[in-house]
Amino acid sequence: MSKPSRKTSAVLAFMAIVAAGYGITEYWRLRNNLPQAFMDAQAKGAIIAQSIVATSQQSSATLNQVNQDDRQGNDQAALALVANLLTESENLRNQAVQLSNQVEAMTQSLSDINSLPARQAALDAISSHLALINQLINYSGDLGNLSDALQRRFSQGSYAETSVQIQALVNQVNVDVAAINNFNNQAAAAMQQFNSIVNK
């Protein structure tokens, strides 16, 4: 009988690890009577939130370029970059709706978590996700304000807005990005606490 190839052995080993990990997760879920709906929504929500963070963080570099173009008088280049950010903002709003749906599912399952400390940790994660969604709304609004200010600044060469005012708006959007990242970190920390409680 021929021995399996190294590639086949590696695949089988990986499948065994995945199966073992799933088995351990199921064991702790059943042992602590954790609601599957909560666990599923939390996992999906974490992926969506991380995607939101990654997309919003990319905007910081773009905003620096916007500020540079503004100072150099590259009006159309700056406006084009902000227009792209506004398009990405629409995508972020769609992701915020998806995250909100997962947060709602998590909230509905809270009462099914028997451990009070675990339930509190889960509630902290939910609160941080809600704060992230709210901050995302601010981010979108501040991007819109920046776009409007740039259009006023460059319209008919009037330069109604100063570079200092544009810089202040850029800074505010960067503050939004930092806050979004912070709230995501808080949600992750809360779920770490949750896992440490239920896995005791």
For residue range 115-130, list pLDDT tens digits in order.
899 999 999 999 999 9
- Looking up tokens 């008088």 gives 73
Residues 6+ apart with CB under 8 A from 30: none
pLDDT band at residue 153 under the 50/70/90 scheme: confident
High-pLDDT (> 70) share of the chain, %:
80
Instruction: Say which range, 3-12, 105-114, 135-144, has the weakest mean pLDDT.
Output: 3-12
Q: What is the pLDDT of residue 16?
A: 54
Asked whether residue 19 carries a pLDDT value surpassing 70, the answer given is no
Segment 191-196 mean pLDDT: 92
pLDDT at 26 over 60: no
Task: Check: CB of residue 38 under 8 Å from CB of residue 106.
Answer: yes
Three-state DSSP class for residue 160: coil
Dihedrals φ, ψ of 34, to 5°? -80, 135
The ranges assigned to domains in the chain are 1-31, 35-198
Q: Is the pLDDT confidence value at 131 over 50?
A: yes
**Angle at CA of residue 88, ends 130 and 97, nearest 5°:** 30
* pLDDT tens readout for residues 58-80: 887 888 888 788 778 787 888 88
Domain boundaries 35-198, corresponding CATH code? 1.20.1420
pLDDT at 144: 86
- The confidence band for 182, taking pLDDT boundaries of 50, 70 and 90, is very high
Rounded CA-CA distance 35/40 in Å is: 9
pTM of the model: 0.76
